[in-house]
Amino acid sequence: MIKKILIANRGEIAIRVIKTCNALGIKSVAVYSDEDVNSKHVKMATESYHIGAASPSQSYLNMEKIVETAINSGADAIHPGYGFLSENADFADLCEKKKLNFIGPSGKSMRLCGDKMLCKAAMSKAQVPTVPGSPGIVEEVEKALDIANKIGYPVLLKSVFGGGGRGIRLVHNEKELRQAFELASGESKAAFGKSALFVEKFLPKIRHIEFQLARDKHGNAVHIFERECSIQRRHQKLIEMSPSPVVDQKTRDEIGQLAVNAAIAVDYENAGTAEFLRLDDGTFYFIEINARLQVEHPVTELVSGLDLVKLQIDIANGEPIPFKQKDLKVNGCAIECRINAEDTFLDFAPSTGKITDVDIPSGPGVRVDTYLYPGSSVSPYYDSLMAKLITWGQNFEESRQRMVLALSDFYIEGVETAIPLYKTILETQEFIKGDLSTDFLDRFKILDRLRDDLKNEASKKADVALAATLIHSEFLKNKITPRKEHSMRWKTQLDRH
Amino acid sequence: MIKKILIANRGEIAIRVIKTCNALGIKSVAVYSDEDVNSKHVKMATESYHIGAASPSQSYLNMEKIVETAINSGADAIHPGYGFLSENADFADLCEKKKLNFIGPSGKSMRLCGDKMLCKAAMSKAQVPTVPGSPGIVEEVEKALDIANKIGYPVLLKSVFGGGGRGIRLVHNEKELRQAFELASGESKAAFGKSALFVEKFLPKIRHIEFQLARDKHGNAVHIFERECSIQRRHQKLIEMSPSPVVDQKTRDEIGQLAVNAAIAVDYENAGTAEFLRLDDGTFYFIEINARLQVEHPVTELVSGLDLVKLQIDIANGEPIPFKQKDLKVNGCAIECRINAEDTFLDFAPSTGKITDVDIPSGPGVRVDTYLYPGSSVSPYYDSLMAKLITWGQNFEESRQRMVLALSDFYIEGVETAIPLYKTILETQEFIKGDLSTDFLDRFKILDRLRDDLKNEASKKADVALAATLIHSEFLKNKITPRKEHSMRWKTQLDRH
Amino acid sequence: MKFKLENTEENLDGEILQSLSNNEFVLKIKGKELNLKILSMTHEKIEFMLDSTYHIAKYLENNTSRITLVADGVKLTFNKHPDLDKIVYKNSGSESAMDSQINLKSQIPGRVVSINVAVGDKIKQGDVVCVLESMKMQVSIKSHKDGAVKSIKIKQGASVAKNDVLAEIE
Amino acid sequence: MKFKLENTEENLDGEILQSLSNNEFVLKIKGKELNLKILSMTHEKIEFMLDSTYHIAKYLENNTSRITLVADGVKLTFNKHPDLDKIVYKNSGSESAMDSQINLKSQIPGRVVSINVAVGDKIKQGDVVCVLESMKMQVSIKSHKDGAVKSIKIKQGASVAKNDVLAEIE
């Protein structure tokens, strides 16, 4: 049985894991870089150890140092959180070698999940549909044409050396494909000495929908419903929710079973996520397994009532999953907004610095996972996620209303955030109707609407701000002296100005 | 449709109602006394009006002033919260007369609930069992003996002029009853000019279990499960939970139906609570209806997913209850601890003053309803409830673990609280086993255990405190200068002492 | 330095063995060596790592004889001169400090509902001297010792603050 | 007093009509009379009732020409001399203040990944001058105007802070 867990992470996810450790009576070990001496996870853990310089490679990615710290502190398990070493198969192997219980899948399974071509092959064998296209690299144009004809135009011609949108060509017919293949092949050979192109069906308007998975050491596997994560910027999720507005119980059962089959296909163990793309016609294509706890796991926790970190620990302890698929029912609706430190109008560029003030919302159905406190810092060394605001409601509309309110109550001073953007999105008719897609921001010109909303908001507060400004001027001229705090002595009569 | 609600209350419950108003887009009007100028409910409402001096009779109990404020501010409804005017039938009538939608039952129904003898008669008619005893005042000793023989000894002989334990005599047989009746009758005549005694069965070890009710203007009525409120001091609830450890689904259905019948018997409208006593043998006796939203309503909200204030508003709007009894299922377990400003070791005497510091717990399954903020005040003019800490878990044990943690994270500086007492109670085997009764604190000598726990806790922290003391002495001698905050400038290298 | 922890009557000793830098120290507490690293410090508050664990302490009171602080949320009071305290106590010749006081003080704020004794009355420890009302509750204030009522300092209906003297009992 | 709300380019006027006491005032804002009652006030922050509604404002910046504050969570900036501003603007003879600047500043902190121009290069507004990396993201920094690169102030691999000058474009 796990008695002491080292958390190989920082920020809100380290705090999240510590909370479950505390609830279960498990001791927690935090690690920290130079930059994180004053971070909240360091303060909350049973024990905390310094592991290196600010740069991740010298601290949170330093496998040897982390494993050594775990052993020296007497920890018997490691929780990797997300990011950093969480999907590093070598790290999982190293833990196993050092007899540390790695809370996640095996290195072998992780490698399978991480290699797109191997994973695709495994899925094909398990009859889990993936995006149609070439099963691997296409050397010759005739082969590419065959595939394109089979899957239907338009198709994307991609280079394995590309990434982030580079090297991708959209082609609509045979002629375009021939031209593009020649060009791309030439470019690739010039740049990398060889060509490595593949063909994939072009999916014009897609939703990102994923299924939470859990599989124990005894082979029991379940899915814990879907999460709709279509609101994105630069292929990174901004808003997630469960259930999805386009998944009914029949679809949930059907695609959920595919997700479970995918987990079995790669011999996945512990909690994970199967990601799918969904077309407007209702077709789902598997894209990958995220071999770790997901940032957006709280929405699943709120609609299932489960503590997923506890479930992870139980599975790592070798316990069977304590429920069956049929015991799980979606309860209400949960929405999460990722509160990143970034400037919406600077193309979501990072914004870092000291948090001079912060008000964290609360109330029925409101949950906030965050490392922020007044005086804390947002470091440029690490990712921009400062907080996750999650609301639960009996239905989508109640959850949405609570989110709108909670966003208004969330005040962060010192860095830019996407809070105003979320307020705009949550109030659009398109979001309310559930007309979501990964290009939601562009498709509905959300940033233009945000600009209008911000102007309206400023205009509405102009009177209040002007009043405060007038008084401040007087104050600065020493014409007003701030009055003393009310005395609370029982005998004192309050003044009544 | 209600568009603007005046909340005739203060403290955490005023804030609770404002939160639902905000979520529903309803405007809120706060009222405040001299003492509450800086209170949180005043700051949160859409509008706030001063209504009088600190003393409740001059402010929160001033019906005319409150109704006038409601009319002048354009409010179309009044939410009374709990306490103050919430169960004042005249106030309900006054609201009706002034065309203000009173969010609660009618004055007529409230009067019936408030008069113990009338209510008992109504219940008898509706076949809702009440504590066995005389149906009204007993004039002659022979009549008292008849009743005692029927209900069985021991019995309590009570005076209607008594209260708070005064004028109550426990008798075990006919001889004792004769003696006691003569004495009590004489005392009563000497003191009040007439005798007014009644007989009730003595119930030695009881639980307090109540059912949440809702009934709309169309006659639809449901119960929303039970709450176990047996942990009390001086007949005031300290800890509440839902479900009760001794109520199974069959009992819930059965007693829940009695509670619904009780509501129908007094033509009750809106949300309310039917209180029962439960004997160890499983017998339930109805005692009264609380004609208002209960302090402990959040535990029901957490296990039902409902927003009870929203339900109240919907019912006041004339809408039918949007679910049937069969749609309701208890989801998990919720526990509430009332965080009162009082000194456990001074017989729970009030403790008032300025809150110099406060840390409010948070985390999965944790909800806090409170008016506290650093710099706020606990006034001697009003009741001692500062905060309600509520935790939810998939089951009792998870909820309890989360409560223990949250209690440890809750720090209130400036007044005494029962937080340490709750930590002791929550960790006792008796509480864990669910061996609850209204005399729990005495029966298990909880205060002695609390003393031990506090000593152990102090002993455990002695090293830390001593270390801090040693450093502080050096600091005061100016031997240590506090180091500066870490610079967060990108280019700055952190020092590494 | 020697301290008595008033919460438990324990005697403790501790000292700073070494100052490694302005922010790091080696302490000896109850005979055990510990490393202390200051994270932040003001007059009111200190955050530090003791060996590998974070702690926060708030200083509520610090005078020549006592220090009261809240360590990780737990309130503790140290007596700084446990030996001296013993001497004073012995010399006072009474059973406890409480008993030697003639002033009956209110431990709560409230309004005087009733006064249940008169000047000159002989009363016993635990007898009700008066009843106060606060926060809708009536609280009986009982005599802290046997004796005679020397004076009554309150009037019915008046308000009293915490620590106000209610009566003198001799 | 006249102000320009920079968020919306609105011109506003307001004045204190009357001081009822040290804590209560009658204001006139956009021609409308309002009662203001101060609940608490420091250099940094004010809490007040405006007619019957509570507000809180934090002052972030207040100099001779501008005041920036957060009113009920909304950040606003007032220009204190809207008329003067217009004159300066007219006399500068350029289309916008932005264009007249030769400094290309970084609006984010980061590490320089690449420099995409050389001194003397003619570039257009929107051309990528360099790429910075911060928080795992690469951000292209584009020229704010047409012109020639006069100087480059950064080196590949170096760190830059927010508002550091990256290059001069003339």
Instruction: Tell me the pLDDT tens digit for each residue of C99-140.
Output: 457 888 887 788 888 888 999 999 988 888 988 887 767 777
Q: How confident is the model at residue B481 (pLDDT cuts 50, 70, 90)?
A: low
pLDDT of residue B162: 61
Q: How confident is the model at residue A486 (pLDDT cuts 50, 70, 90)?
A: very low
Which residue in B351, B357, B497 is closest to C21 by CB distance? B497
Dihedral angle of Cα B251, B256, B257, B259, to the nearest 10 degrees: 130
pLDDT tens per residue across span D106-147: 877 788 888 889 999 999 888 889 888 877 677 778 888 888
Mean pLDDT of C50-79: 93
pLDDT of residue C109: 80
C53–A489 C-beta distance less than 8 A: no
Which residue in D43, D69, D73 is closest to A469 by CB distance? D69
A490–C52 C-beta distance less than 8 A: no
Chains A and C: 3 or more CB pairs within 8 Å of each other: yes
Range list for CATH 3.40.50.20 in chain B = 4-103
Pick the CATH number of B207-452 from 3.60.40.10, 3.40.1190.10, 3.40.50.920, 3.30.470.20: 3.30.470.20
- Alpha-carbon distance A315 to D105, whole Å? 52
Which residue in A342, A468, A482 is closest to D71 by CB distance? A468
User: Which range is least confidently modeled, A271-285, A364-378, B300-314, C19-33?
Assistant: C19-33
pLDDT tens per residue across span A152-190: 999 999 887 765 456 678 899 999 999 999 888 888 787
CB A305 within 8 A of CB B329: no
Distances (CA, A) of A63 to A8, B222, B361, C95, D135: 9, 58, 34, 64, 21
* Annotated catalytic residue within A207, A292, A400, A402: A292
Contacts of C160 in chain A (CB under 8 A): 490
Chain B residue with the nearest C-alpha to that of D135: B490
Contacts of A460 in chain D (CB under 8 A): 74
Mean pLDDT of D38-55: 93
pLDDT of residue C83: 65
Rounded to 5 degrees, what are φ and ψ at B240?
-130, 155
Which residue in A47, A490, A491 is closest to C52 by CB distance? A47
Range list for CATH 3.30.470.20 in chain A = 207-452
Mean pLDDT of A19-37: 96
- Give the class (CATH, top level) of B132-201: alpha beta
Mean pLDDT of A447-456: 96
Chains D and C: 3 or more CB pairs within 8 Å of each other: no
DSSP element (H, E) containing B64:
helix B63-73
**Distance (Å) from the C-alpha of residue A349 to the closest C-alpha of chain D?**
7
Measured over the CA atoms of residue A396, residue A400, residue A403 and residue A405, the dihedral's sign is negative
Q: Six-digit token pair at B120?
A: 């008992």
Q: A358 pairs with which residues across the strands?
A: A412
* Residues whose CB is less than 8 angstroms from the CB of residue A22 and which lie 6 or more positions away in sequence, other chains included: A28, B405
* Annotated catalytic residue within B292, B338, B367, B402: B292
- Write out chain D in H/E/C secondary structure: CEEEECCCCEEEEEEEEEECCCCEEEEEECCEEEEEEEEEECCCEEEEEECCEEEEEEEEEECCCEEEEEECCEEEEEECCHHHHHHHHHHHCCCCHHHHCCEEECCCCEEEEEECCCCCCEECCCCEEEEEEECCEEEEEECCCCEEEEEECCCCCCEECCCCEEEEEC
Flag whether pLDDT at D80 surpasses 80.
yes
Interface residue of B55, B411, B472 to substitute, partner C, most C CBs within 10 Å: B472
D137–A349 C-beta distance less than 8 A: yes
Range list for CATH 3.30.1490.20 in chain A = 132-201
Contacts of A346 in chain D (CB under 8 A): 107-108, 139
pLDDT of residue D13: 92
Mean pLDDT of A50-77: 97
Which residue in B375, B405, B496 is closest to A23 by CB distance? B405
**Distance (Å) from the C-alpha of residue B14 to the closest C-alpha of chain D?**
15
| Residue B449 a catalytic site member | no
Interface residue of B466, B473, B476, B496 to substitute, partner C, most C CBs within 10 Å: B466
Q: How confident is the model at residue C96 (pLDDT cuts 50, 70, 90)?
A: very low
Pick the CATH number of B4-103 from 3.10.270.10, 3.40.50.20, 2.160.20.10, 3.90.550.10: 3.40.50.20
**Distance (Å) from the C-alpha of residue B273 to the closest C-alpha of chain D?**
35
Chains contacting A (3+ CB pairs below 8 angstroms): B, C, D
- Alpha-carbon distance C117 to C129, whole Å? 6
A101-102/A77-79 β-pairing: parallel
C45-50/C32-41 β-pairing: antiparallel
Q: C33 pairs with which residues across the strands?
A: C28
For chain A, the residues whose C-beta falls within 8 A of a C-beta of chain B are: 19-20, 22-25, 34-35, 37-38, 54, 298, 301, 305-307, 331-332, 352-354, 360, 362-364, 367-368, 375, 377, 379-380, 394, 398, 401-402, 405, 485-486, 488, 490, 494, 496
**Distance (Å) from the C-alpha of residue B496 to the closest C-alpha of chain C?**
11
Identify the structural domains of chain C with CATH numbers, from first to last: 2-79 (no CATH), 83-169 (2.40.50.100)
